């Protein structure tokens, strides 16, 4: 199965080798037919501590690294 890739903005880089990424998804409400924005935070592995707050990054699923980390930052996505 292909691994999911999400794009979001770094909201915290205070932890060592970890960044918190805010991912926003948009969908149409089934009854109201209005576009709704839903956000979720993911903790991603950043081994080189190269991403800072405000960076837009792409994260990919991986095997569990710690209790909360199941995502890795894609390094080629740095813009």
pLDDT digits (tens, 9 = 90+) for 15-42: 999 999 999 999 999 999 999 999 999 9
In a domain, 40, yes or no: yes
**Cα separations in angstroms, 18 against 12, 55, 58, 74:** 9, 14, 14, 13
pLDDT digits (tens, 9 = 90+) for 52-79: 999 999 999 999 999 999 999 998 745 5
Q: What is the CATH number of the domain that holds 61?
A: 2.40.50.140
Q: How confident is the model at residue 43 (pLDDT cuts 50, 70, 90)?
A: very high
In a domain, 24, yes or no: yes
The count of structural domains within the chain is: 1
CA trace torsion 77, 21, 71, 75 (10° rounding)? 20
pTM of the predicted model, to two decimals? 0.87
In a domain, 61, yes or no: yes
Distance CA 58, CA 74 (A): 6
């Amino acid at each position: 199965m292909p691994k999911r890739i999400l794009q979001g903005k770094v909201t915290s880089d205070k932890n060592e080798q970890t960044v918190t990424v805010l991912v926003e998804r948009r969908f149409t409400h089934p009854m109201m037919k209005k576009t709704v924005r839903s956000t979720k935070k993911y903790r991603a592995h950043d081994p080189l501590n190269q991403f800072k707050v405000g960076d837009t990054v792409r994260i990919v699923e991986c095997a569990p690294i710690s209790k909360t980390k199941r995502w890795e930052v894609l390094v080629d996505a740095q813009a």
